[in-house]
Amino acid sequence: MPRTSENPARPTAVAPLIASTFHSMGTVISLTMPGAPGPGGHSATDELEAAAAVVERVFLELDQTFSLYREDSEASSLARGEMTLRDASPVMRERYAEALEWRLRTHGAFTPERPDGVLDLSGLIKAYAIQEAGTSLLALGRTDWCLNPGGDVLVNGSPVPGSPEPWDAGIVDPFDRGALLAGYPLGTRRRHSALATSGSAERGDHIWRRAGEAPTFVQVSVAAADITTADVLATAIVAGGVPMLDRATDGWNVAVLAVGSDGALLGTPDFRR
């Protein structure tokens, strides 16, 4: 999906940041951390490599279960009718139940089924992977990091450890991939730690709508306290247009920046500063 800039962290302090990247779930995933030695005396590079390995494992395991591009995945077996949800793994049933809850909460703008009826949880699983990876990083004692899978950003702490300096996520212009529309501060004392962007600028028109409906927005960015809310609502607003945007801003503590098909911007006050 068209998301934030490849390097969303732009701290004002002089302390260096170091990053590690890998490919999973069809996108590039980057983990950025302050370049300071870890609490155990290990070098910053060693700390980063160890943390990145944990993140990569989380994504790999979930991709092996949920990817419809892997013939041997559980999701592909379900799509082929070789098994039913009753026989599926607990994690598959849990994520399906979560997706159904989001379908109800968004009045159907977010759905776990493709138009042909095939179960497709890809609209939820990347966010779940990000969330699980973040939990693993915290369990390792890593408190300052920015995780950016394909532009969906989740942060913790600060790029300048111990300071109130936020991580700054940049939102790419869907009509000019080399330009930024806006920046949004995440983490530390800010109310939001996650930013997700959904749309058709990079991956084409892949979001399902009712037959005959033209897209109102080509790109929607949502900032929220957690990455699942941000990602699901960004997708739902692209699918549901202005009514879903109004529902999201009324029902959730989020900030939204939407780009219309004519290039017009529609955003909450957070993005107008």
Q: Where are the beta strands (DSSP E) in the chain?
A: 17-24, 27-34, 145-149, 153-156, 167-173, 176-186, 194-199, 217-224, 255-260, 265-267
Q: Is 53 contained in some domain?
A: yes
Range of the domain at 120: 17-272
Domain assignment present for residue 101? The answer is: yes
Query: Which amino acid would we find at residue 152?
Result: D
Q: Which of 211, 222, 213 is nearest to 249 (CA)?
A: 222
Q: What is the CATH number of the domain that holds 116?
A: 3.10.520.10
171: in domain: yes
Residue 40, C-beta contacts closer than 8 angstroms, at least 6 positions apart: none
Please report, for residues 73, 172, 193, 217, 272, the alpha-carbon distance to residue 267 in angstroms, rounded to integers and kept in the order given.
39, 15, 18, 12, 7
Q: Which residue has the higher pLDDT, 142 or 6?
A: 142
Q: What percent of the chain has pLDDT over 90?
A: 75
* Residue showing tokens 């009509």: 175
* Any domain includes 216: yes
Q: 61 CB contacts (<8 Å, ≥6 apart)?
A: none
39-53, 57-71, 133-147, 200-214: lowest mean pLDDT where?
Answer: 200-214
Q: Is residue 6 part of a domain?
A: no
Q: What is the pLDDT of residue 229?
A: 98
Q: What is the pLDDT of residue 15?
A: 59
What total number of domains does the chain contain? 1
CA atoms within 13 A on the CB side of 24: 26
- ∠ CA 21-124-257, rounded to 5°: 80
Residue 8 lies in a domain: no
* 197-234: b (≥16 Cβ within 10 Å) or e: bbbbbbeeeebbbeeeeebbbbbbbbbbeebbbbbbbb
Contact 153, 146 (CB under 8 A): yes
Q: What is the pLDDT of residues 170-228, one digit of tens each?
A: 999 999 988 999 999 999 888 899 999 998 654 444 454 444 456 789 999 999 999 99
Q: Is the pTM of this model over 0.95?
A: no
Average pLDDT along the chain = 88
